[in-house]
Every structure is written in structure tokens, then in C-alpha cells.
Chains A and B, each alone.
Chain A
């Protein structure tokens, strides 16, 4: 019993000091299972390489500089697309949320274009812009835009009318109300929109890179398929998962903790 308790107490203390440990531990059995199945020889190694092979491939691709370059390409594309999507989406969402006439006009259009999913645009984009960065950027901005617009509008409308009135009767102009009341009140929904947008955008980016790509994680994976390198495909998949973890854990979640959760707008 005592060694078990000791291990438990060690785990608790470590996770308290390094919260990251808590998100790593659940993966230990997953990786172990993978290693066992790979080592059992049930599948030929070219079909299912073990974790060690993937780590080795990771090392060599990092060493050659391919992985860092591709990763950077993908992340920059996503970041630029997401920034543009937000820069367009938040003001549009505020407009649609605040103004009934704009809402009546734009809402059906928004729903219509939202339904034409990101990569459904690829055929026509490829004709218009070819296998270019423009095509890729268009797809990402498009994917990020709609969740941001729709959620921002929802958030704007969820701000109680009393808060508008309170601000106005304390001397705020209409423009000030947007900045001081509407945007912070809509922030939890904007974050949800951003989270969805980034999630969809990330997937759309990979898909686009597979089709359009000359670089990036999606291209790496598709290129690996051509070369028959399952190791690199698996590596690409793992990088995708890890990257989302980082975006969520280091960027989105801390913002949410410091805003909506702190203000009691969202329950923890």
C-alpha cells in the first residue's frame, strides 16, 4: 500500500507544481498500447511503426530543418487567416447583433454561405487563383469568419438591455457603449467563435495544404504518403494534435480564465 500511496502523493505534488504533467499522464497508456501493438508484429512495421521510430523520424526531420519550416508555414498561415477572419468577423458580428435591419438583411446570407463549407470552395478557387497562397488564405479566412460572426452576434444580443441603459445614463455615447459594454459582454461568445473558427480553420488548412500545398504539415503528410512513409504520416498527425493542445492550453484557455470565468459570465 505504502509505495502506491507514495506514488500518488508524488503525482499530486507534481501536478500541483507542473500542471502540464496532468495533461501528459493520460497519454502514457495510449502510447504504451501503441508500442505494444507495434512490437507484437501483428502489423508489418511499414504499416504501423512504433513510437520509437516516430521519435527518430521527428529527430531527423527537425535536424534537416524540414519540420520546423513546414510547421512555421502552417502556423503562420493559420495565424494570418485567423487574424483576418477576426478583423472582419468581430465588427460584422457586432453590426449584425446590434442592428435589426442589418441582421434581417445579412443573417440569411450568412447562413447560406456558412453552409458552403470551406473546402467546397476549393474547386472554384483553384480555377480563379490556381495553386496559390491566395487560395489557401481565402479558405482559412472563410472558415474562421463564420463561427466568429455568428457567435459574436449571439454574444452581442445576449448582453442585457439594462447594461446598455446603465452605461448610457452614466454618460456613455453609443460608440463608447460598444467598446465598454457590448464587446466585453460578447467576449465569452467571441472566444467560442474563435475556438470553433480555429478548429475548423486548422482542419481546412491541412486539407488545403494536401491539395494545394508546396509546404506545411498537410503537405508533409501527403508527400509522405507518396513516399510510402507511414512514420512521417503518423508524425504529422501527432504534430497536429500537439499543436492544438498548445493553442488551447497556452492561448485560448488562459484568456478565457482571465475574462469570462473571472467575471462570472461563464461557469468554470
Chain B
């Protein structure tokens, strides 16, 4: 069963100063199965964020359609959780309140929201940070709060825009392993945007290479799970796939 479908989706921005149209995404089609983990890679400016924003419902499509379980996407909704590259945590809410925000919007009582939030914070090793404000956390911790906040709302689809771009290499590897572990436990559909090729291959069931607003190629990643860096980093299949994707991205 296909959960998310993009059918010939295009997006054209109008630049009022130049008086010209800029095509960010053209004729992109994509089908993502329920519980599937898909990465989208591509060079800077190829339209990755634009695609994600359209799926999230933040910006309308110029043509084509986006369907979630056969329903057209109109505006943002809680069934599509988003993890932002810039974290987008609410500075005036504690970590606990940030993570409990989704449940609160669903109308759950405060005690219930806190309970859910604590559960998810524990999952990400953030139990001790619950009462702190985001500005009192390190970048890596803020990013994990961002991920956990989206997860705590139990979305059907999780949209992640270069979520690990702003942390150091070691932390990033840990976060990637944590993410695959969490995904295996709860199985949301994940669309993960990155320009890091090995990250895309490490995480996903399928890698989609984007070029100038078009889908250049789709590649299946048949590597076994659970995936851990200690094992994969020397794995020949992983290396071969990464090399292939890298070449596609560079030719893009």
C-alpha cells in the first residue's frame, strides 16, 4: 500500500524584482510506501527543501498533486511531522513543553502530555534536560529535541530536512544510529533530506537522487538492518552503493 504519492509535481516561484519565474521543482513523481525510509539527495539548490515544504503543506504546488492515503494534501497537518534544519524549537517553552506540544494540540490533559514527552525524551537520552529551555542546550541536544518533538506526535509521515547537518561528525553518527533504531521500533514513513551521500545510504531503504528539480534516479538499498557504523563503514556493498550515489550526485 502506497502511503504518499507525488504525481507530476512542479513548483515555480515568481521573483517580482527580476520579473521572472524560477522553477525549483519540475515534474517530480514519487511513491513512498507506508513505513518506508526514503532519502532524497542532491546538490544545493536542486529543490529538496521545496519538495519537502510542499509535502508538509507549507507551500502550495504549482501543478501536479500530492496525495497522502489518496487524500490531496492541503496545508500542514499533524499526520505529517516535520524536523527542521534550524531545529525550530519554541524558545519560550521548556524541552518538556516543546516535546509535549503536539499532544497538547490534540487536546490531551497536561499530565498526559508530560508523560508522553518524558517517555520520548528518555528514548533520546534527554531525560535530564526536560526542565531546561532550548537556549540552554547544545546544538546536538536541540536537534534531538526537534526529532523527538516530531516523533511524540506519532505522525504517519516524518519529513526531515537535513536534520543532522549542524552537528559534529561523531554526534551525527550516533544520531543516525538512534534514528534507525527508533524507526525500526515504530515504523513511521520517513522522508529524509540530505546532501551527505553516505548518510542517505546508511539510513534509507531507497535513495532518490534529485537534479535541477527533477528525479534523476532511484536506488534501492538492500543492506541488512539494524545498521551500525562500526560494521557498515568497511562494508563493500555499502561502499559500492555510496560510490554510485556520489557519482550520480556529482554528475547532477
Contacts and interface: CB of A to CB of B under 8 A. Distances in A.
A268 to B, nearest CB: 12
Interface residues of A, number: 22
Interface centre among A171, A181, A262, A263 (most CB of B within 10 A): A171
Interface stretch (B84-92, B116-124, B219-227, B228-236): B84-92
Interface string A154-194: 00000010110111111110001000110011010000000
A171 to B, nearest CB: 3
Interface string A132-173: 000000000000000000000000000010110111111110
A169 B90 contact: no
Given A264-B133, A264-B135, A169 B82 contact: yes
A259 interface: yes
A171 B88 contact: no
Contact of A184 (B92, B134, B136): B92
A262 B150 CA distance: 24
A162 B135 CA distance: 16
Contacts of A265: 91-92
B106 interface: yes
A229 to B, nearest CB: 50
Contacts, number: 72
Contacts of B89: 166
Contacts of B136: 264
Contacts of B150: 170
Given A171-B77, A171-B106, A171-B153, A166 B88 contact: yes
B153 A165 contact: no
B92 A165 contact: no
A187 B90 CA distance: 13
A264 B86 contact: no
Interface string B65-109: 000000000011110111010101111100000000110011000
B121 to A, nearest CB: 16
A180 to B, nearest CB: 7
Contacts of A263: 91-92, 133-135
A171 B56 contact: no
B144 interface: no
Contacts of A185: 91-92
Contacts of A166: 82, 84, 88-90
B7 to A, nearest CB: 22
A76 B56 CA distance: 50
B214 interface: no
Nearest to A162: B88
B91 A169 contact: no
Interface string B120-158: 000000000000011110000000000001100100000
Which 8 pairs across A and B sit closest by C-beta, in order of nearness? Answer: A264-B135, A171-B78, A171-B105, A162-B88, A168-B76, A184-B92, A166-B88, A263-B91
Given A166-B84, A166-B89, A176-B105, 5 more contacts: A162-B88, A171-B105, A259-B92, A263-B134, A264-B134
22 contacts: A160-B88, A162-B84, A162-B86, A165-B56, A165-B58, A165-B82, A166-B82, A168-B58, A169-B56, A169-B57, A169-B58, A169-B76, A169-B80, A170-B102, A170-B153, A171-B105, A172-B101, A180-B101, A184-B90, A259-B92, A262-B133, A264-B134
